[in-house]
Amino acid sequence: MPKQRIKTIRTRRINLRATARQEQLIRSGASMSGASLTDFILDSACLQAQHALADRREFAASPKQWKAFVEALDRPPHVVPELARLFAGAAARRSKT
């Protein structure tokens, strides 16, 4: 059963190349799901993009890992002399410009 879709105006074009096997597989998948080829490809690509981005924004941790993480955040910062010199030099260079 096809999903109800709100019509939106699509103004951007994405071009791609596929093998004959890939094209047939995608067309079959779209047909079986009742979606247009465009909707099927966009929905699939957007879902993959969301998963890829979630890996960079969301993290799962056990209670033990979470406790260790929070404790590390709560500890006072540790100054690394090499980094302090590096940042001090960068700040000085920016103030000259």
Question: What pTM was computed for the model?
Answer: 0.53
Query: Crossing angle for the helix pair 20-33 and 37-57, nearest 10 degrees?
Result: 100
Integer Cα distance of 54 and 32 in angstroms? 28
User: pLDDT tens, 41-66?
Assistant: 999 999 999 988 887 777 789 999 99
Q: Where are the domains of the chain?
A: 20-96
